[in-house]
Amino acid sequence: MTSAVTFQRVSRHYGSVRAVDEVDLDIAEGEFFAMLGPSGSGKTTSLRLIAGFEQPTKGHIEIFGQTAEGIPPYRRNVNTVFQDYALFPHLNVIDNVAYGLMVRGVPRAERTKAAEEALALVQLPGYGARRPGQLSGGQRQRVALARALINQPKVLLLDEPLGALDLKLREQMQEELKTLQKSLGITFVFVTHDQGEALSMADRIAVFNHGRIVQTGTPEEIYTKPVSRFVADFVGSSNVLPPELVERLTGNSRWASLRPEMLKMSLKASNGAMPARVVSTNYLGSTTRIALDMEGLRLHATVAAGTAVPAMDETVYLSFDRDRLHLMDDER
């Protein structure tokens, strides 16, 4: 499979700060790839290195097999959609979308036609005469996407483009972006700190922390088989069990991850079940999240809506299928 983007021991330092620290990365052509991590983890700097807005302190970057170091952004077959959209307020929608073609000297009639086609692609036909100030946040996001797509990039970079949208619109745009990417076949590289966003949209995810990639895999691999305590804590919600408890349960003195939905609760004691006290319950619509105290260890379980929920301070007995317990490294 052709590589769209390759990092070979890439670093970007700002004085003593290692924003990106010897990152190796390989993104396949046509892949929807997410860079996930907390603020300051290196994901946005990595995106800017692909775009050409930053140059590596050391290491090697290739875009479709071509060396990228020293190549300015306008000479890379890459476009970026920013969180703040970066639209020109004095231009109408058509001229915003067609701006890149105008800079390249494309005749007005040709670029206007291309802009109208791009707007139709992002479900905004007929909006060309409006100004950005007359649009909703979701519509501005679509205009920014159309402006990036009109240049027919081989790689589309998206820097937390849904961060400013409300929950319902963000979920709608997640579906639309995924559908659009599959239909176009363009490589999408998506930066986010939202775990649910990455899990629901990406073909593969790279989890960043302290300037390094700590795990790369499919959403299912990242969620069910985190390699470390950091990944288990950061991606979704997990019960991270300490080595002394895991040794009692399995004979292995290692940290382990157990997702809340894997915990089973009963009001009756049974062989091997562990007693715990109900600390709180939180109704979340489709599920209820239950906080539990087991020998000073805080655990969480989730049950489907409509399931009977134990009362506060009630003792319950916990069990789980042992193959659902995932052993991890100690490194955070």
* Per-residue pLDDT tens digits for 44-74: 999 999 999 999 999 999 999 999 999 999 8
* Per-residue pLDDT tens digits for 270-279: 888 999 999 9
Structure confidence at residue 307 (pLDDT): 87
- The amino acid at 59: G
Query: Which domains are present in the chain?
Result: 3-233 (3.40.50.300), 258-328 (2.40.50.140)
pLDDT exceeds 80 at position 167: no
Q: State mean pLDDT over 256-284.
A: 92
331 confidence band (pLDDT: 50, 70, 90): low
Structure confidence at residue 138 (pLDDT): 85
